[in-house]
Amino acid sequence: MSLDTGDALTTHNFGLQIDGVMVETLQEISGLSMEQDVIEFQQVSADGKPMIKKLPGVKKAGECTVTRGATQSAAFTEWIASSIAGDMGAARKDASIIFLDYQLSEVKRYNLRNAWCTKVELSATKAGDAAALTEQVTITFEELTLG
C-alpha cells in the first residue's frame, strides 16, 4: 500500500463495480449515504436517578449518484433499462464503490446490497456547445456494508 500513516485517500482514484464488473468510465460519485434510526431509552437507576441510553435502531436504505459520460456501455445501459422497466429481478444487483491508493491498489470498499437505478438525468444539450454529454444516475440500495 502506498499510503503512509496520516495519508488520506484522494478523491480521484475510485471505481464502481456492479455484480463484479467494473463500470468502464466514471466522472463522479456523490451523496453516498445511509441512515440508522436512534432509539432513546429512558429509565431510572436503583437509586432513582434518571438515565438515558441511546441504542441503534432500524437501518434505512441509502442512495448515491453516479455521473458518467454517456457511452455505449451495454452492461450499465441494460441495468438502467431493467430498473426503468420495473424488472426488479434483473435490476437489483450488488454493487461496490472502491477507493484506490496512489498505486491504484484497493484500500476501501463500500458494498451496496440490492442496488438499482431510480433516476437518470442527462446533461443539458446546446447547439454549438463543445461539451461531453453526461448522465447522472441515482442508485438506491437496501444495505451498506464496509468491505
pLDDT band at 32 (very low <50, low <70, confident <90, very high): very high
* Burial class for 79, CB neighbours closer than 10 Å (0-12, 13-18, 19+): buried
**How many domains in the chain?**
1
- Residue 141 falls within a domain, yes or no? yes
- Is the pLDDT score of 144 beyond 90? yes
Terminal alpha carbon distance of the chain: 17
Q: Which domain holds residue 89?
A: 14-35+61-146
- Residue 8 falls within a domain, yes or no? no
Residues 33-71 pLDDT 10s: 989 999 999 999 999 999 999 999 999 999 999 999 888
- Residue 30 falls within a domain, yes or no? yes
Instruction: Tell me the whole-structure pTM to 2 decimals.
Output: 0.81
DSSP H or E run through 85: helix 74-85
pLDDT band at 24 (very low <50, low <70, confident <90, very high): confident
Say how many residues make up the chain: 147
- Residue 49 falls within a domain, yes or no? no
- Residue 24 falls within a domain, yes or no? yes
Q: Specify the amino acid at residue 143.
A: E
CATH number at residue 129: 2.30.110.20
